Chains A and B, each alone.
Chain A
Amino acid sequence: MGKHTIKVTVNGDAHESEVESRLLLVHFLRENLRLTGTHIGCDTTHCGACTVLLDGVPVKSCTVLAVQADGREVMTVEGLEKDGKLDPVQEGFYQEHGLQCGYCTPGMMMTSCALLKSNPDPTEADIRRAISGNLCRCTGYVNIVKSVQHAAAAARTRQQDARAGR
């Protein structure tokens, strides 16, 4: 019942699809576009495994309809790496062992990216607060906090380098 044609830009690529009204954004990404990096963990808006950026803002894609994303930009974990270079957040998680099973990781990283955009130099408390809608069962969060701090430092360095024309 109720099909809609939607145009969504995902990781910079424009997609046009016909979808059912009730199709959840997370299923649109995972099944229609086969971008399976975004995971499903709880269905009730508690775990954040499905976090993606919708127009740059992190949201839980299991609680957003695909039709709501019509005309908007979505970024998923698959869009983080640019020109073969990991995003500072990915690099931070790698260096600081911010992931174990990897299941919450994409959502955790998307939230972290958004945090660093609005707050390039977050305190530990800022980070803990920002990721409090993302559950991790493996890491105990200590190394995730370090990963985001690592990413913040790396992003600052990259910016300085860019400014210095390096």
Chain B
Amino acid sequence: MATPRTSPEVGGMGHSIKRKEDPRFLRGKGNYVDDIQLPGMLHMDIVRSPFAHAKIVKIDPSKALKVPGVLAVITGETLKQYNLHWMPTLMSDTQMVLPVEKVMYQAQEVAAVIATDRYAAADGVEAVEVEYDPLPVVVDPFKALEPGAPVLRTDKPGKTDNRIFHWEVGDRQATERALAASDVVVKQDIYLPRIHVASIETCGCVADFDRVRGKLTVYMTTQAPHAIRTVIALVAGHVGLSEEKIRVVSPDIGGGFGGKVPVYPGYVIAIAASVVIGKPVKWVEDRMENLQADSFARDYHMTARLGAKKDGTMTALEIKTIADHGYADAAANPSKFPAGLFSICTGSYGFPNAFAEVDGVYTNKPPGGIAYRCSFRVTEAVHAIERMTDVLAQELKMDPADLRMKNFIPPEKFPYKSVLGWEYDSGNYPAALKKAMDIVGYADLRREQAAKRKRGELMGIGISSFTEIVGAGPSKQFDILGIKMFDSCELRVHPTGKATARFGTKSQGQGHETTYAQIIAEELGIPAAHVEVEEGDTDTAPYGLGTYASRSTPTAGAAGAIAARKVREKAKKIAAHLLEVSEDDLVWEVGKFSVKGAPQKSKTIQDIAFAAYTNHPQGMEAGLEAVDYYDPPNLTFPFGSYICVVDIDRGTGEVKVRRFVAVDDCGNIINPMIVDGQIHGGLTMGLAPALFEEITYDESGNIQGGSFMDYLLPTAMETPKWETDKTTTPSPHHPFGAKGVGESATVGAPPAIANAVVDALSHLGVRHIDIPITPEKVWNILKEKGVAE
């Protein structure tokens, strides 16, 4: 990015100003859901099923009701009276709030205990007696598709199998022909395991129904408060909750990463309890509930075929996927995209032919299919193509960097229409890879590797040159339950020249209070310090679809810029009036309008704001404010090249990430400090599933990895010192050329790490290892190849 246009005092784009949200967090004065304490507030705790699939024979609350402090036990039968025992998912599927007939996964909600404090509620949970009659458990999605497999969704009339959806994109026949005509075709099964975002704050809410006013206020850990309000109105409209009487407040959020987009049963039960009892009800998950019952990510079983000419030119790509969604499709994709944006799977390469298909499957696992800090299913797509590129390089005995350079969509071809239908807005892939190779010292590393191999030491170098697709999205294609995926800003400039800007998104650590203020500062010259940003309260903020899929800057950020430009338009009229010149005679420079050729004659935005309330032209409305609902013309396509260097312990199979260089291109940057922070965090959430995190199930449906004892979040000791750099290719269609960055690194890092490990072992004939690459997996290979210590 070029030098900032604004002064440090104004703090517009390109300034690493310190974060406006930090003072409260640093003093322990954040306001997270569990910090909210309302008069008379009750606590809710949830009875969960130890069985993955079982009929509910009987729920006996009598002992629980005798526990001191326990006031009520809510069951599916209670909710059934109000027809609230089922609810829709964001993917137009249905899921239980509380079961009436059977449970479908281990840790599913079975009943809720309402008590005067959380200790009593926990005691009550233990005292609720539930009798189950276990049913056959289906955990393997391939077995779930076999004829004769037990049909899990017996609630769906006429459902005779466990298939949820079939989705495909591209030309199947043409791709098949192109593969047949290729000089070389490599094929690989690639599994991206089930993982969980595990934000350090779990999910929860405080539901507060005011019987007198008939108003429901819900403080909720949600990334999308407005959409949630609409969902509540749709689900509970029939019991009298009307949208204008519902206020959803998303307070400070301790990390979201996609896990706080869905509506969880706990929220609905707490709301129902508050409405019925007439008191505030707090529900906050513990960590095991969070890992075991909240929406998971990934769980994609992919089989990819990649065809190429002898010289390495890629000719065709085909990926077939079985997607394990658990017992309900509770993904949070745009509604028309059951497999999200998986069709970005042609990646950074110019494929003439491609075909992808995904089949969604029901199993006895928690529902989901949400993102894990990535745009919808983009990590899966990028992992597939970046792994396959290395598999092909190995087959052709080509250097993986050379193979990438050969197949990159050339910079001059942008905007580029991909064979699977996307119009990539901009890109310069060779520049990013070249920069990463220079920083890491690629040629030297290859020499070091060769020398080490002679000594029997194992080191590997892995590249990932990913393309992301974020900023959903244009209303012609993108909606959630019919609501178009625009986002919004409402900007008010006050008489003294300070501003309040409200947005439809919701920060969970991304620093919107700072970066949005910088956007306004850039556009209006009002210092960022004097722009107050508000989000997350549906009573005050304009409607928006929320923060996930790296959409805030591409959509709401754009709305902020456009709203500011609307304000500037009006300001220009006022300035013309004040300076007694025609609007055409005015020029704008940061923070002021001045008369062409007479720069001493000018009015600052502060002068103009004051005039807007005190001396506005007759016939013009007073005030200085604007609203923008921004409908992006296209998505944005951030990209980057990552290079990872690993060393492998031949005795234990441990993988040590020695270096990791990340060159990112997210277009124009609002706050470089924050962007670096986003990349560091994203890289760590890329490292995590690459080497550590995984949720599995045994044949009885028992979750493995359901606590932090076995779900392994990397600490500072496992995390390398990330090295970051940038290239800048502005988005041509975004108002200030930005692209979104929060998730690029999560998407790009896993294949770089996997490629590095495979590279370390490639001379032994190893071609692929599924993530997470655990020491045991590596050791098994070392042993099989006869090189274990």
Contact = CB atoms under 8 A, between A and B. Distances in A.
Query: Is any CB of A less than 8 Å from a CB of B in the complex?
Result: yes
B345 interface: no
B28 A37 contact: yes
Contacts of A39: 32, 34, 200-201, 254
Interface in B178-235: 197-202
A145 B716 CA distance: 9
Nearest to B30: A102
Contact of B681 (A30, A81, A95, A140): A140
Given A90-B26, A93-B26, A97-B19, A102 B721 contact: no
B310 interface: no
A97 B677 contact: yes
Interface string B69-90: 0000000000000000000000
Contacts of B255: 100-101, 103, 137-138
Nearest to A105: B25
B715 A132 contact: yes
B32 A103 contact: yes
B257 interface: yes
A37 B29 contact: yes
Interface string A95-134: 1010111111110010000000000000010011101111
B719 interface: yes
Interface residues of A, number: 59
Interface stretch (B240-248, B503-511, B563-571): B503-511
B674 interface: yes
A142 B716 CA distance: 8
Interface residues of B, number: 57
B22 interface: yes
B27 A140 contact: no
B21 interface: yes
A95 B716 contact: no
B28 A44 contact: no
A34 B26 contact: no
Contacts of B26: 77, 80, 86, 90, 93-94, 99, 105, 109
Contacts of A94: 18-19, 22-23, 26
B37 interface: yes
A143 interface: yes
A137 B717 contact: no
Nearest to A76: B28
B200 A104 contact: yes
B254 A132 contact: no
Interface in B502-559: 508-511
B574 to A, nearest CB: 38
A105 B677 CA distance: 14
Interface string B679-710: 11111110000000000000000000001110
B253 interface: yes
Interface string A13-26: 00000001011000
Would you call the interface of chain A mostly helix, strand, loop, or mixed?
loop
A99 B201 contact: no
Interface of A: 20, 22-23, 27, 30-31, 34-44, 46-47, 49, 76-78, 80-81, 86, 90, 93-95, 97, 99-106, 109, 124, 127-129, 131-145
17 contacts: A20-B119, A30-B34, A47-B200, A47-B287, A94-B22, A97-B18, A101-B201, A101-B253, A102-B22, A103-B32, A103-B199, A129-B716, A131-B716, A137-B257, A140-B682, A141-B715, A144-B716
Contacts of A31: 37
Contacts of A124: 721
B696 to A, nearest CB: 19
B708 A42 contact: yes
Contacts of A100: 255, 509-511, 677, 681
A139 B198 contact: no
A129 B717 contact: yes
Contact of B27 (A37, A132, A138): A37
A46 B709 contact: yes
Given A94-B18, A124-B721, A137-B198, A42 B287 contact: yes
Nearest to A90: B26
A38 B717 contact: no
B67 to A, nearest CB: 13
Contacts of B719: 140-141
Nearest to B201: A103
Given A141-B719, A143-B680, A97 B673 contact: yes
Given A39-B254, A101-B199, A140 B30 contact: no
Nearest to B673: A97
A9 B288 CA distance: 32
A76 B679 CA distance: 30
B697 to A, nearest CB: 20
Given A100-B509, A101-B199, 18 more contacts: A39-B254, A43-B286, A80-B26, A80-B27, A81-B27, A94-B19, A94-B22, A97-B673, A97-B674, A100-B681, A101-B200, A101-B255, A102-B22, A103-B200, A131-B715, A132-B717, A134-B715, A138-B681
